[in-house]
């Protein structure tokens, strides 16, 4: 008697849980939606990475120009060669 009752309760619980569960189609659609959203976010992140790389390249170029200008300013002015004495 107990065994039959336990089996009946387990069967009832299984059917009840199965009825409450989402269909696999719904889960697949949600997964596709989340995958699309993730792809969009990855695209946005890649755009930001590209923008940051561009800014870094521009900053490096500006730094190189600044260093070149500082080197020119720090270099001593060329001294003219002495002229030969006129007799």
The pTM is what? 0.50
pLDDT category of residue 72 using cuts at 50, 70 and 90 = confident
- Residue corresponding to tokens 């069967």: 11
Q: What is the pLDDT of residue 45?
A: 95
Alpha carbon distance 63, 20 (integer Å)? 64
- Each residue's pLDDT tens digit, 2-38: 788 788 888 888 877 766 656 777 788 889 999 999 9
Q: What percentage of the chain carries pLDDT values higher than 70?
A: 82
């Amino acid at each position: 008697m107990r065994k039959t009752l336990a089996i009946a309760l387990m069967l009832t619980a299984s059917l009840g849980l199965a009825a409450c569960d989402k269909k696999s189609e719904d889960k697949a659609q949600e997964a596709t939606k989340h995958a699309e959203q993730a792809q969009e976010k990855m695209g946005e992140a890649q755009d930001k990475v590209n923008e940051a790389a561009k800014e870094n390249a521009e900053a490096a170029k500006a730094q190189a120009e600044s260093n070149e200008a500082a080197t020119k300013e720090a270099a001593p002015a060329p001294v003219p060669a002495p002229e030969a004495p006129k007799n």
